[in-house]
Structure 1
């Protein structure tokens, strides 16, 4: 199960998010990113998780899928009518939801700010031996190579943290891992893993999933490329871009091809537009 994409973005941002050491091995789902949008086979999705809400001085309120009819058991989100960071007043229409009967508008129940739209929670899941299990918290395991082998310390509740806080946590946990000072609760569990071999000059690789997790993202190195673009006056010019290859392995019992593909698509959009991660 594999998808290839090319992603252009600011290397400093990726180093901030992925500045840890790791190693990978064969896996299931693959992706490569860049300014040119293309794929070979596969699976795609999103990392809006790293877009935190800590700038707010109140605890965020989660808005879950409501039951909008007596017979409704599930619904599809048709579109958001408000954007992240936009002020919302009680009674404002937030989004449109398709139920078993009709398309219904969900209104805000209070005043506030729409801090973060968390898409694709189905990727944050594991296999519990009998079937997929949705996980309540987004806990990101980061692969760190130590003298005694690979270990994966965890960034707990990553959705509630900003980029800088995540980068600081990765730095602290990586040092503790290499010093052999991690506590069991700092490396046991996790809902999604990341392994980065880019700093070793590896362009792309496939990492093995850490059961019972369903996904792991393998991060390769940045590569400068030239792309033909147009300036404000419409004149053609060559511009250097940084491309990076990432490969996602996923357990198809939990995250199938279609879901994995959408995940990587959203991941591509977010990292090529880093303001979304502010």
Structure 2
């Protein structure tokens, strides 16, 4: 029986070889090549990761690997702009980068979206198997509607010579406003989508900056119908008359009345808007203000400068805040949704203004650091924040925030609490004032003092007015007596 099975298999092989000979060498190659292309090389999907706790979408800033390039675990794949900073995404597998699904400059890529495909080493990356169904295709630099790529097109009259016009919302708005037929626009977007730039190019070629009323194509009417009264064209927008939907301004042309210009929004700016709205609408803010005398701090700062120790007034403020929190641990708390949670470590978040928005890097264990160590840490973190190179652990968390606008000439202001923290200290600029004081003999006299305004914004659920007043009083005492409270 085994011999029969062996001879039967050999017969099948001979028949297959004879068939290949009948087809010829070229026909056999086409058959094998078609089979390889049909199945393709199995791939490993690379999806958009969550690089911060509050991240919901990200922007692809730059790809650091090219298609066909070998990748080892730990290698940098691409740079992703999160809601906090630009973070380098590292590969978790070895292999070859076969296909980049989302190009550089793509914005608002949702978490879990497919951004690249990898294959194992030794496999043909040019024949990578591309998944037929992709989840949440991201929008690129030109805004694309989710319905344009993920949902079937709505029923309507078919375009001649096309399977249907794919058009982004911004482009549709421009074409509708200027009365341009989408069929005359040449698409340049991915998968034949008409982009905003395509629409603006056609509008610029026609030399039309104002809206026009597009009369709908009349349907075939029965023989006996009432006459249709022709509609009057809308008058041009002059003076204060503007269309209800203002058109977008055209690059390279003078701004027309009623137009607007779109401003791209970074992920950081979106998250700032979301968190500030959440903070003001869910946290009962209470405010307390006081003045601090900077005489002792400025004198000590000059003495340290003689020893080549360069520190700023803001460094003393950070240290004084950390010392005060150590003395009053009931203020070093956060809101967990149901009640307060006392924090064991004192981590001070400092607000840094960047081109992409405000970000708060953290000086950890600030109460146990000296003034010079705090100064060095603050400089490094501020520079990394401006360059967008902060690591997630350098801006996530924090127990207390400080926002200093004194260098911008702001006398005093009230800051918005950074949830889930309980407080934020707003620091204004210093000013010289004449203050009535007493001399050594107890006689009244006028003296000059350099005062600084500070305002504490506190969460009324965690820090009541009495506790906030006590905290400010203790903070002022520590700042005005830097040698006594061991700020060094």
TM-score range, shorter chain: 0.5 to 0.7
> Aligned pair in 2 of structure 1 residues 234, 256: CA closer, same or farther (>3 Å)?
closer
Q: Tell me which residue corresponds to 1:248.
A: 456
Tell me the CA shift for residue 249 of structure 1: 0.7
Quick check: 1:50–1:162 contact (8 Å CA) kept in 2?
A: no
Aligned pair partner of 1:195 in 403, 413, 418: 403
After TM superposition, list the pairs within 5 Å mapping 1:48-67 onto structure 2: 49-50=322-323
Q: In proportion to residue count, which structure has more strand?
A: 1
Q: For structure 1, which runs of at least 5 residues remain unmatched after alignment?
A: 21-45, 52-116
Aligned residue for 2:326, secondary structure, equals: coil
User: 2: CA distance between counterparts of 1:162 and 1:206?
Assistant: 28
**Runs in 1 of length 4+ with deviation above 6 angstroms?**
none
After TM superposition, list the pairs within 5 Å mapping 1:1-278 onto structure 2: 1-10=286-295, 12=298, 16-18=312-314, 47=320, 49-50=322-323, 118-233=326-441, 236-275=444-483, 276=485, 277-278=487-488
Aligned residue for 1:138, secondary structure, equals: coil
1:227-272 C-alpha deviation (Å, 9 max, x unpaired): 2334435555432111111111111111111111110010111111
Matched positions, count: 188
User: 2: CA distance between counterparts of 1:50 and 1:172?
Assistant: 22
1:127-184 C-alpha deviation (Å, 9 max, x unpaired): 0111100011000000000000000000001111112211111111101111111101
Quick check: 1:228–1:237 contact (8 Å CA) kept in 2?
A: yes
RMSD: 2.4
User: 2: CA distance between counterparts of 1:232 and 1:19?
Assistant: 32
Tell me the CA shift for residue 48 of structure 1: 5.9
Quick check: 2:322–2:348 contact (8 Å CA) kept in 1?
A: no
> Aligned pair in 2 of structure 1 residues 260, 235: CA closer, same or farther (>3 Å)?
closer
> Aligned pair in 2 of structure 1 residues 177, 226: CA closer, same or farther (>3 Å)?
same
> Aligned pair in 2 of structure 1 residues 129, 224: CA closer, same or farther (>3 Å)?
same
User: 2: CA distance between counterparts of 1:210 and 1:3?
Assistant: 17
Higher RCO structure (Cα 8 Å, ≥6 apart):
1
Quick check: 2:427–2:455 contact (8 Å CA) kept in 1?
A: yes
> Aligned pair in 2 of structure 1 residues 258, 233: CA closer, same or farther (>3 Å)?
closer
User: 1: CA distance between counterparts of 2:425 and 2:294?
Assistant: 17
Larger Rg computed on CA atoms = 2
Q: For structure 2, which runs of at least 5 residues remain unmatched after alignment?
A: 1-285, 302-310
Tell me the CA shift for residue 212 of structure 1: 0.6
Q: In proportion to residue count, which structure has more helix?
A: 2
Quick check: 1:16–1:163 contact (8 Å CA) kept in 2?
A: no
User: 2: CA distance between counterparts of 1:48 and 1:218?
Assistant: 12
Q: Tell me which residue corresponds to 2:258.
A: none
1:87-134 C-alpha deviation (Å, 9 max, x unpaired): xxxxxxxxxxxxxxxxxxxxxxxxxxxxxx932101111001111000
TM-score, scaled to structure 1: 0.62
